[in-house]
């Protein structure tokens, strides 16, 4: 995998929501539907990042920025493309975009049992800033959310 084969595109409108829903559905069970993404775009400051490898979309992140504070709403890499550094690239390119857009802080919430995602975020400079007990309600039970943040 060559770095020059990796590119990111940023969408401030709903144009890429079918693609986002298709990727999200392979990353989460259940994934967000296209109308979930369209609803997210109903809130100002929402932006979708699509990362492609050799022009093939492989990972997405959805951000929301209010003044200088941004949040990651959701993020995922297609299962066949994981552990190749692609989510790391997605975040690096996202940081660059958000900095250019004058964001100074980036926040997120991650499942306390989601070790791959926590490794990703820690390796990209996020630190834990709090915990919301029983925040996620899965079929199998409740899971705490870890709150994480980093400066941009
Ligand atoms: C979490 C997720 C986005 C990681 O994507 P990825 O493209 O495989 O991540 P990368 O290859 O860029 O890896 C980034 C770091 O996380 C680590 N990591 C990734 N997957 C891992 C795993 N399964 N186990 C342990 N560490 C893992 C890598 O070793 C790497 O660490 P390093 O930078 O110290 O070497 C991906 O597993 C995914 O889409 N999961 C389902 C959706 C999800 O949980 N999203 C996050 C919601 S908050």
**At 1, is the pLDDT very low, low, confident or very high (cuts 50, 70, 90)?**
confident
HSE-up of residue 129 (Cα within 13 Å, Cβ side): 14
Expressed as residue numbers, the domain containing 90 is 3-107
CATH number assigned to the domain comprising residue 69: 3.40.630.30
Is 124 part of a structural domain of the chain? no
> Going edge to edge, which strands form the sheet with 105-111?
6-11, 46-53, 56-66, 69-77, 105-111, 141-151, 127-138
Residue nearest to atom 24 of ligand 1 (CA): 116
> What is the tally of structural domains in the chain?
1
CA of 152 from ligand 1 middle (Å) equals 20
- Spatial separation of the C-alpha atoms in residues 128 and 109, rounded to whole Å: 9
Report yes or no on 116 lying in a domain: no
pLDDT of residue 4: 79
122 found inside a domain: no
Residue list, ligand 1 pocket, CB within 6 Å: 27-28, 75-77, 82-88, 110, 114-117, 119-120, 123
- Reported as a single tens digit per residue, the pLDDT across 89-146 is 999 999 999 999 999 999 999 999 999 999 999 999 999 999 999 999 888 899 999 9
2 has a pLDDT exceeding 90: no
Confidence at 69, pLDDT banded by 50, 70, 90: very high
Total-model pTM: 0.96
In-domain check, residue 146? no
Which parts of 1-81 fold into alpha helices (H)? Answer: 17-27, 34-40
């Amino acid at each position: 995998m060559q770095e020059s084969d990796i590119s990111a595109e940023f969408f401030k409108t709903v144009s890429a929501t079918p693609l986002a829903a298709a990727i999200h559905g392979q990353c989460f069970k259940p994934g967000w539907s296209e109308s979930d993404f369209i609803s997210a775009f109903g809130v100002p400051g929402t932006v979708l990042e699509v990362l492609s490898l050799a022009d093939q979309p492989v990972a997405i992140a959805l951000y929301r920025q209010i003044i200088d504070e941004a949040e990651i709403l959701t993020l995922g890499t297609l299962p066949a493309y994981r552990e190749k550094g692609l989510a790391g690239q997605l975040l690096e390119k996202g940081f660059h975009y958000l900095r250019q857009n004058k964001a100074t802080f980036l926040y997120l919430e991650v499942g306390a049992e989601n070790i791959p995602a926590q490794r990703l975020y820690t390796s990209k400079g996020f630190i834990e800033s709090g915990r919301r007990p029983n925040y996620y309600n899965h079929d199998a039970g409740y899971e705490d959310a870890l709150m994480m943040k980093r400066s941009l």
